[in-house]
Amino acid sequence: MTLLITGARPYGEDAADILVEDGRIVAIGEDLAATGAEVVRAAGLVALPGLVDLHTHLREPGREDAETVETGSRAAALGGYTAVHAMANTDPVADTAGVVEQVWRLGQQAGLVDVVPVGAVTVGLAGERLAELGAMADSAARVRVFSDDGHCVADPALMRRALEYVKALDGVVAQHAEEPRLTVGAQMHEGDRSARLGLTGWPAAAEEAIIARDVLLADHVGARLHVCHVSTAGSVEILRWAKSRGVQVTAEVTPHHLLLTDECAEGYDPVFKVNPPLRTDTDVQAVRLGLAEGVIDAVATDHAPHAVEDKETEWASARPGMLGLEQALSVVVATMVETGLLDWRGVADRMSARPAAIGRLDGGGLHAHGRPLAPGEPANLLLVDPGTRAVVDPAALASRSRNSPYAGRELPGRVVATFLRGVPTVLDGKAQK
Amino acid sequence: MARQPEPARSDLSSPSAVLSAADVTRVVDRMAHQLIEKCAGAGDDAAGGLADLVLVGIPTRGAPLARRLAARVEAFAGSPVDVGAVDITLYRDDLRMRGVRALEETLLPEGGIDGRLVVLVDDVLYSGRSVRAALDALRDLGRPRAVQLAVLVDRGHRELPIRADYVGKNLPTSRNQSVRVRLAEVDGVDEVVVTEGEQ
Amino acid sequence: MKRHLLEAADLDRADATLVLDTAAQIDQALAGREVKKLPTLRGRTVVNLFYEDSTRTRISFELAAKRLSADVLNFSAKGSSVSKGESLKDTALTLEAMGSDAIVVRHSASGAPHRLANWVRGSVVNAGDGTHEHPTQALLDAYTIRHRLGRLEGVRVAVVGDVLHSRVARSNVRLLHTLGAEVTLVAPPTLLPVGVGSWPAEVSYDLDVVLPKADVVMMLRVQAERMNASYFPSAREYSRRYGLDARRMGALGDEAIVMHPGPMNRGMEIAAEVADSVRSTIVEQVGNGVSVRMAVLYLLLGGAPS
Tens-place pLDDT, residues C246-258: 999 999 999 999 9
Question: All domains of chain B, ordered by start, with CATH?
Answer: 24-173 (3.40.50.2020)
Closest CA to C106 of C63, C61, C72: C61
Is residue C67 within 8 Å of C290, Cβ to Cβ? yes
Give the gap in angstroms from C-alpha A33 to the nearest C-alpha of chain C.
Answer: 59
Burial of A408 (0-12, 13-18, 19+ CB in 10 A): exposed
The answer to the question of residue C1 being in a domain is no
Give the gap in angstroms from C-alpha B187 to the nearest C-alpha of chain C.
Answer: 22
> Range with the lowest mean pLDDT among A371-375, A415-419, B28-32, B195-199?
B195-199
Return the pLDDT at B1: 42
CATH fold of A50-358, please?
TIM Barrel (3.20.20)
Give dist(CA A286, CA A236) in Å, integer: 7
Return the pLDDT at A49: 98
- pLDDT of B6 above 70: no
- Phi, psi angle pair for A38, to nearest 5°: -75, 130
Is residue A320 within 8 Å of A273, Cβ to Cβ? yes
In terms of domains, do C61 and C179 share one? no
Beta-bridge partner residues of C266: C270
- pLDDT of C45 above 80: yes
Return the pLDDT at B79: 87
Would you place residue B44 in the very low, low, confident or very high pLDDT band (cuts 50, 70, 90)?
low
User: Cβ–Cβ of B99/C303 closer than 8 Å?
Assistant: yes
In terms of domains, do C139 and C274 share one? yes
Within 13 Å and on the Cβ side, how many CA atoms surround A90?
29
- pLDDT of C272 above 50: yes
Return the pLDDT at B93: 77
Q: Which residues of A374-405 are buried (b: 16+ CB within 10 A; e: fewer)?
A: eeebbbbbbbbbbeeeeebebeebbbbbbbbb
In terms of domains, do C166 and C60 share one? no
Please tell me which residue, B142 or A217, carries the higher pLDDT value.
Answer: A217
Q: Is A16 helix (H, G, I), strand (E, B) or coil?
A: strand
The answer to the question of residue C3 being in a domain is no
Please tell me which residue, B199 or A163, carries the higher pLDDT value.
Answer: A163
CATH fold of A2-46+376-390+407-431, please?
Urease, subunit C; domain 1 (2.30.40)
CATH of the domain at C57: 3.40.50.1370
Q: Is B72 helix (H, G, I), strand (E, B) or coil?
A: helix
In terms of domains, do C40 and C71 share one? yes
pLDDT (mean) for B30-39: 92
The residue of chain C nearest to residue A181, with distances taken between CA atoms, is C229
The answer to the question of residue C306 being in a domain is no
Would you place residue B10 in the very low, low, confident or very high pLDDT band (cuts 50, 70, 90)?
very low
In terms of domains, do C92 and C171 share one? no
Q: What is the pLDDT of residues C86-124, one digit of tens each?
A: 789 999 999 989 889 999 999 999 999 999 999 999 999
Cβ neighbours of A269 in C, within 8 Å: 115
Is residue C185 within 8 Å of C150, Cβ to Cβ? no
Would you place residue C81 in the very low, low, confident or very high pLDDT band (cuts 50, 70, 90)?
low
Select which of A148, A214, A262, A302 is catalytic: A302
Cβ neighbours of C40 in B, within 8 Å: 90-92, 95
Residue among B96, B136, B141 minimizing CB distance to C33: B141
Residue A89 known to bind ligand: yes
Return the pLDDT at C303: 61
The residue of chain C nearest to residue A271, with distances taken between CA atoms, is C115
In terms of domains, do C274 and C140 share one? yes
Residue among A190, A198, A309 minimizing CB distance to C194: A190
In chain C, the number of structural domains is 2
Give dist(CA A366, CA C222) in Å, integer: 66
Q: How many other CB atoms are found less than 10 A from the CB of residue C66?
A: 18
* Domains A2-46+376-390+407-431 and A50-358 fall in the same CATH topology: no
- pLDDT of B8 above 60: no
Beta-bridge partner residues of C49: C75, C105
Give dist(CA A278, CA A284) in Å, integer: 9
Residue among B96, B106, B136 minimizing CB distance to C304: B96
pLDDT (mean) for C298-302: 90
Cβ neighbours of A202 in C, within 8 Å: none
Average pLDDT of chain A to the nearest whole number? 97
Cβ neighbours of C299 in B, within 8 Å: 100
pLDDT (mean) for C4-33: 93
In terms of domains, do C146 and C126 share one? no
> Range with the lowest mean pLDDT among A358-367, B17-26, C79-88?
C79-88
User: Cβ–Cβ of B97/C305 closer than 8 Å?
Assistant: no
In terms of domains, do C261 and C292 share one? no
Residue among B99, B140, B141 minimizing CB distance to C302: B99
Domain edges within chain A: 2-46+376-390+407-431, 50-358
In percent, the amount of chain B with pLDDT more than 70 equals 85
Return the pLDDT at C84: 60
Average pLDDT of chain C to the nearest whole number? 93
Give dist(CA B54, CA B84) in Å, integer: 7
Q: What is the pLDDT of residues A152-165, one digit of tens each?
A: 999 999 999 999 99
Interior angle at CA A137, CA A133 and CA A138, nearest 5:
120
Is residue A159 within 8 Å of A123, Cβ to Cβ? no
- Phi, psi angle pair for A168, to nearest 5°: -70, -20
Give the gap in angstroms from C-alpha A259 to the nearest C-alpha of chain C.
Answer: 22
pLDDT (mean) for A273-299: 98
Strands (E), chain B: 17-19, 53-57, 82-85, 117-125, 146-154, 166-170, 177-182, 191-196
The residue of chain C nearest to residue A200, with distances taken between CA atoms, is C131
Residues contacting residue A224 through CB under 8 Å, at least 6 positions apart: A163, A166, A167, A171, A172, A173, A218, A248, A249, A250
Q: What is the pLDDT of residues A50-96, one digit of tens each?
A: 999 999 999 999 999 999 999 999 999 999 999 999 999 999 999 99
User: Cβ–Cβ of B99/C306 closer than 8 Å?
Assistant: yes
pLDDT (mean) for C256-261: 96
User: Cβ–Cβ of A201/C109 closer than 8 Å?
Assistant: no
- pLDDT of C16 above 80: yes
Return the pLDDT at B5: 47
Give dist(CA A172, CA A214) in Å, integer: 12
The residue of chain C nearest to residue A198, with distances taken between CA atoms, is C132
Return the pLDDT at C79: 60
Return the pLDDT at B11: 47
Q: What is the pLDDT of residues B71-87, one digit of tens each?
A: 999 999 988 999 999 99
CA A157, A160, A162, A165: dihedral to nearest 10 degrees? -120
Return the pLDDT at A169: 97
Return the pLDDT at B7: 47
- pLDDT of C76 above 90: no
In terms of domains, do C97 and C143 share one? no
Give dist(CA A23, CA A378) in Å, integer: 6
Closest CA to A405 of A347, A306, A319, A323: A323
Return the pLDDT at A368: 98
Please tell me which residue, C87 or A142, carries the higher pLDDT value.
Answer: A142
Cβ neighbours of B104 in C, within 8 Å: 25
In terms of domains, do C151 and C290 share one? no
Residues contacting residue A187 through CB under 8 Å, at least 6 positions apart: A194, A199, A200, A201, A202, A273, A277, A315, A316, C110
In terms of domains, do C186 and C100 share one? no
Domain that holds residue C47: 8-132+286-301
Q: What is the pLDDT of residues B159-186, one digit of tens each?
A: 999 999 999 999 999 988 899 999 999 9
Return the pLDDT at A377: 98
Would you place residue C34 in the very low, low, confident or very high pLDDT band (cuts 50, 70, 90)?
confident
Would you place residue A272 in the very low, low, confident or very high pLDDT band (cuts 50, 70, 90)?
very high
Chains with 3+ CB–CB pairs under 8 A to C are: A, B
In percent, the amount of chain A with pLDDT more than 90 equals 98
Return the pLDDT at C302: 77
pLDDT (mean) for A10-17: 97
Would you place residue A396 in the very low, low, confident or very high pLDDT band (cuts 50, 70, 90)?
very high
Q: What is the pLDDT of residues C147-204, one digit of tens each?
A: 999 999 999 999 999 999 999 999 999 999 999 999 999 999 999 999 999 999 999 9
Give the gap in angstroms from C-alpha C172 to the nearest C-alpha of chain B.
Answer: 24
The ipTM estimated for the assembled molecules is 0.93
Give dist(CA A132, CA A95) in Å, integer: 7
User: Cβ–Cβ of C193/A203 closer than 8 Å?
Assistant: no
Q: What is the pLDDT of residues A326-357, one digit of tens each?
A: 999 999 999 999 999 999 999 999 999 999 99
Per residue, what are the HEC states of chain C?
CCCCECCHHHCCHHHHHHHHHHHHHHHHHHCCCCCCCCCCCCCCEEEEEECCCCHHHHHHHHHHHHHCCCEEEEEECCCCHHHHCCCHHHHHHHHHHCCCCEEEEEECCCCHHHHHHHHCCCEEEEEEECCCECHHHHHHHHHHHHHHHCCCCCCEEEEECCCCCCHHHHHHHHHHHHCCCEEEEECCHHHCCCCHHHCCCEEECCHHHHHHHCCEEEECCCCHHHHHHCCCCCHHHHHHHHCECHHHHCCCCCCCEEECCCCCCECCCECHHHHCCCCECHHHHHHHHHHHHHHHHHHHHCCCCC
> Range with the lowest mean pLDDT among A183-187, A313-317, B38-42?
B38-42
Would you place residue C75 in the very low, low, confident or very high pLDDT band (cuts 50, 70, 90)?
confident
Return the pLDDT at B2: 43
Q: What is the pLDDT of residues A226-247, one digit of tens each?
A: 999 999 999 999 999 999 999 9
- Cβ–Cβ contact C22 with B under 8 A: yes
CA B141, B144, B148, B150: dihedral to nearest 10 degrees? -50
pLDDT (mean) for A414-429: 97
Closest CA to A146 of A358, A366, A293: A358
In terms of domains, do C260 and C290 share one? no
